[in-house]
Structure 1
């Protein structure tokens, strides 16, 4: 008789503290810190304001994460913002978040990361020109398929991959920061003299500089997406955030200081990839080490993006806000493989257009709109859900400040430079209500009859079952 215990068909708690820290660090340190310094300097206008904005972005990420610690320990469900908005404001607001995030922001971010990965991988093969677009896109699509496969096979395997590539990310940052400290010790400080001399800052310009910096910091909230798979979340969720985010913030400020020890403002602004330009100038003849480890860093970021995005789609399917098949779990591997495959499929679709960076730029304001709503949900639930246990309770002033800052980050760029694309993005978000009312609120029967044979077919092909159900 088989004496092995049978695992319940649910997501298993297999993510420990180290893996949670690596997930945060891996998600935040992608290609952003190697590219974004150019945009932050452009909008801030000088070295001094640029470094202040990088520091302020780290403080903002930490303040937001502290709010998420309270929310995550109070509502220990995967899905992050989705679960908190559902609890505080009900189904319609949570659905609009899931509609925007599952269908656009998560998969398109995944595709952008893999496109960056493909460009860095191909750069040595096309030293004097840009690689063909079709080759770049095919390699990005292959990377998406490979990463989705890893995540479908095993949570532990995906965690091991994440931990390994996070180590590579920290290694290259340590190398760049170390080189910068050596240059500082040698007296390369001329770029820091008159650090605040530059163009005057506008309200919208500051907002755009923060957008660029916060893009590099994006991922500070991702461990909340996997709360149900976290071992001892009451202990490990706060610890992962309190260790991971300050670590990244210190790395980001130091790496920007390192850039300015070797590059002038003009050199940095003209650079297509700041870290590579820095490596070419400082590490010759070993300059190849920088693009190699940027590839590793970008792969780790793509893996973290896939891991967390799949969990959001899974939770949305479980709550009835997406098709039910997304909430099914692999019978063999105990991973949310339908949700992971769906996110990967959309990411490959977003690789096809000529330029989806524009799409992300105009949806970044929507991201901070939902961040602000999530912070506001913490304030609301202090009054409406007093009965919920709060193992960690942050000062309410932090949540209030984050709501006000989110409002600024949403409105400032639009007021400073209003463009019709912001309206299109807003209309897309609201269009989710056209699907919500018939399919979620009314639960029309013909939709269920239409989806049933498709669900059964996919269930057989993918060998997946609903959570907590088996033969």
Structure 2
């Protein structure tokens, strides 16, 4: 008899929160300050990004409840459009969607920890973290669940504690306007805002992560909407608080163009010694991010392996239902990114490609309702069709500006899609041969 267990709703929420709170919120403010110097507009970036993520979560809640199978966009797009579209989406998720963010979170972990303890090599710290987390999640599910829940709880507590300490201990707050002033309206409609929004949307990436392991969530059709919505709202509040804190305590000039914005903010509040301690603490936050993406991402490879014999070994699971080989493959790709790519190139490219993935999935709710109006839907998107329309409008706006200002990102995305299409036709042909 199988002893397989499932992830409880609290663990599933921990996976989402840990997936979302990671590299983006601790690094992207420095890039946003290159073009935007208004405190109000910078905070609104995170509010708009949160609304976008919430609208996406409301839409995914209906899709996940109506099409309950692990795999995220791979499952949705295969069922809504065509298996080829789903495969390409899964290909993107498997090669970029999770491996790239894992590498970014690990690199950020290495950067913060090496700042706290001089002499440590940031790159090898990133490699070590990925290896340890991989080992933790390829064994028993109970060990995996405990690892995730503990580090997510630590993450939330440390963020709240960091913000409160900064508010209490800062000697001089910065002259930043957090209420709108003349010119802010035009700035929010500018290309700079749209481009900055891609960084913010990347920081919110992960709100959909639980849909990658629907089959492993306890009573998923009933619990999924609550998990998605509550987790996204929690992260939105934490993101606004963090960026408010960074801007309140550190000069914009000091943060501009920098990756380790949390460390710089801590320097201005706690001094060099205190900043080193805070940097060490902030590095710990990235552990649960790498952990959560190591749980969710390989489930895409797993379901691809279930559907295509060419990749059948990726569907192999251990006695506790965990796809160990798929986890090893994703971690291997992440390690490759750490060793050969720059931080900013990974961030821009993966942010662009991931936005394309969710764009097609959210649009799919209109297609699914039209084609299968009688499909059982345990949950229907609240205020439909507003949430998917808002998500599509904001995401498209940001993608168009990125394609104009960074055309190489669009070209790389097109090349990745073309390669995925080639793999799909090869895999389908192999399926036909072995039948």
User: Once superposed, which parts of structure 1, at least 4 consecutive aligned residues long, lie more than 6 Å away?
Assistant: 197-200
Larger radius of gyration: 1
Q: Is the 8 A contact 1:23 1:162 kept in 2?
A: yes
Match of 2:193 among 190, 199, 206: 206
Separation of aligned partners in 2, 1:367 and 1:296: 25
Question: Could you tell me how far apart the structure 1 residues matched to 2:123 and 2:243 are?
Answer: 30
Deviation at 1:110, TM superposition (A): 1.3
Whether 2:250 is the aligned partner of 1:263: answer yes
Tell me which of 85, 99, 107 is aligned to 1:107.
99
Return the offset for 1:183.
6.3
- C-alpha separation between the residues in 1 aligned to 2:401 and 2:376? 36
- Deviation for aligned residue 1:118: 2.1
Q: For the residues of structure 1 that align with 2:264 and 2:167, how far apart are their CA atoms?
A: 17
How many residues matched? Answer: 430
Partner of 2:256, secondary structure, is helix
Among 66, 80, 86, which residue is 1:88 paired with? Answer: 80
Which position in structure 2 is the counterpart of 1:435? 423
Question: Does structure 1 residue 190 correspond to structure 2 residue 175?
Answer: yes
Give 1:174's aligned residue.
160
Using the TM superposition, name which of 45-54 and 286-295 deviates more: 286-295
The TM-score normalised by the length of structure 2 is 0.91
CA–CA distance in structure 2, aligned partners of residues 220 and 122 of structure 1:
29
Distance apart, 1:269 and its partner CA: 1.3
User: Structure 1 321/258 Cα, relative in aligned 2: closer, same or farther at 3 Å?
Assistant: farther
Gap change, CA 1:411 and 1:272, over 3 Å in 2: closer
What aligned pairs does 1:56-455 form with structure 2 within 5 A after superposition?
56-126=48-118, 135-182=121-168, 188=173, 190-192=175-177, 196=181, 201=187, 203-269=190-256, 271-284=258-271, 286-320=274-308, 323-331=311-319, 333-355=320-342, 357-394=344-381, 395-415=384-404, 417-441=405-429, 443=431, 445=433
Cα deviation code 1:167-196 (max 9, x no counterpart): 221122112221344369x88363227864
Encode CA deviations 1:285-341: one digit per residue, 9 max, x unaligned: 54333212212110110000110011111111112186000111113x331111111
User: CA offsets per residue over residues 112-156 of structure 1, 9 Å max, x none?
Assistant: 2212222222333427xxx6xxx4333322222211111110222
- In the TM superposition, residue 203 of structure 1 has moved relative to its aligned partner by 3.7
Report if the CA contact (8 A) 1:65-1:220 is conserved.
yes
Q: Which ranges in structure 2 are unaligned for 5 or more consecutive residues?
A: none
Q: CA deviation at 1:95?
A: 1.2
Give the match's secondary structure for 2:308. coil
Q: Give unpaired runs (5+ residues) of structure 1.
A: 1-5, 450-471
Where 2:201 maps in the other structure, the secondary structure is helix
Pair 1:7 & 2:2 matched: yes
Q: Are residues 1:23 and 2:15 paired?
A: yes
CA distance in 1, matches of 2:421, 2:199: 30
Rounded Cα–Cα distance in structure 2 between residues aligned with 1:288 and 1:136: 15
Q: Report deviation, 1:437.
A: 1.9
Mapped to 2, the partners of 1:104 and 1:115 lie a distance apart of 16
Compute the TM-score of the two structures, normalised by the length of structure 1. Answer: 0.85
Instruction: Give the deviation of 1:441 after TM superposition.
Output: 4.4
The superposition leaves residues 406-454 of structure 1 with CA deviations (integer Å, 9 ceiling, x where unpaired) of 2222212212x15334213212212222222233146364xx69xxxxx
Could you say which residue in structure 2 is the equivalent of 1:463?
none
Write the distance in 2 (CA, Å) between the matches of 1:351 and 1:94. Answer: 27
Conserved? CA contact 2:298–2:330, under 8 Å:
yes
After TM superposition, the structure 1 stretch with the greater mean CA deviation from structure 2, 295-304 or 397-406, is: 397-406
Change in Cα spacing, 1:42 to 1:385, as seen in structure 2 (3 Å) is same
**CA contact 1:21–1:240 (8 Å) conserved in 2:** yes
How far the C-alpha of 1:238 sits from its partner, in A, is 1.6
Provide the aligned C-alpha RMSD in A.
2.5
Contact 2:116 2:275 in 1 (8 A): no
Q: Is the 1:375–1:403 contact (alpha carbons within 8 Å) kept by the matching residues of 2?
A: yes
